[in-house]
Amino acid sequence: MLKQQIQVDIINALKQGNQEVVDVLRMAISAVNLKEKEKRYKVSKEDTDIKEEDLMQASALNDDEVISVISSEIKKRKDAIVLYKKGNRQELVDKEKKEIEILQKYLPEQLSLEEIRKLIEESIANVGATNIKEMGKVMADLAPKVKGKADGGEVSKIIKELLN
């Protein structure tokens, strides 16, 4: 599983003395653990008679959920880069870019713009969308195909462009 791979990579980075990678991966594991705690809380509220070990198993994130957490962390860094550029803080921009590089190793291979466009065109045809008001239908059809493999902002931009 992906979470275990990240934990192994933390140990390897510690052995190599690569503190930057250790810090970024620990942050990623922390975000995954937080998401698991949220899920555990939700499961425990729904089923109050659940055993502790069943609760832990039910709240463990699968690889898709871990990818979603990592994607979210990457998005946070991209947002921070925009702000740091506005504030002329190039050293922080560089730091955030380096962190994105480290995190992207745990995402599936990203789709090219041409591949994204092709998938969007297929989804538009599948749902019969003709205008921007039907963007939600297109997104619902498209989401499983691009989850973790494409930037949501880029996908949204292309859909709007094709539906207008």
What pLDDT digit, counting tens, does each position of 77-109 carry? 999 999 999 999 999 999 999 999 999 999 888
What would the CATH number be for the domain defined by 2-104? Answer: 1.10.1510.10
Does domain 113-163 fall under CATH 3.40.50.2000? My reply is: no
Domain layout of the chain by residue ranges: 2-104, 113-163
Cα(63)–Cα(146) distance, rounded to whole angstroms? 15
pTM of the predicted model as reported, rounded to 2 decimal places? 0.80
State the residue for tokens 């957490």.
69
Q: Are 100 and 78 in contact (CB under 8 A)?
A: yes
How far is the CA of 66 from the CAs of 5, 51, 85, 90, in angstroms?
A: 11, 24, 29, 30
Instruction: State what percent of residues in the chain have pLDDT above 70.
Output: 100
Give the model's pLDDT for residue 90. 95
- For residue range 139-155, list pLDDT tens digits in order: 889 988 888 788 888 88
Cα(132)–Cα(158) distance, rounded to whole angstroms? 11
Give the model's pLDDT for residue 145. 87
Token duo for residue 121: 């065109």
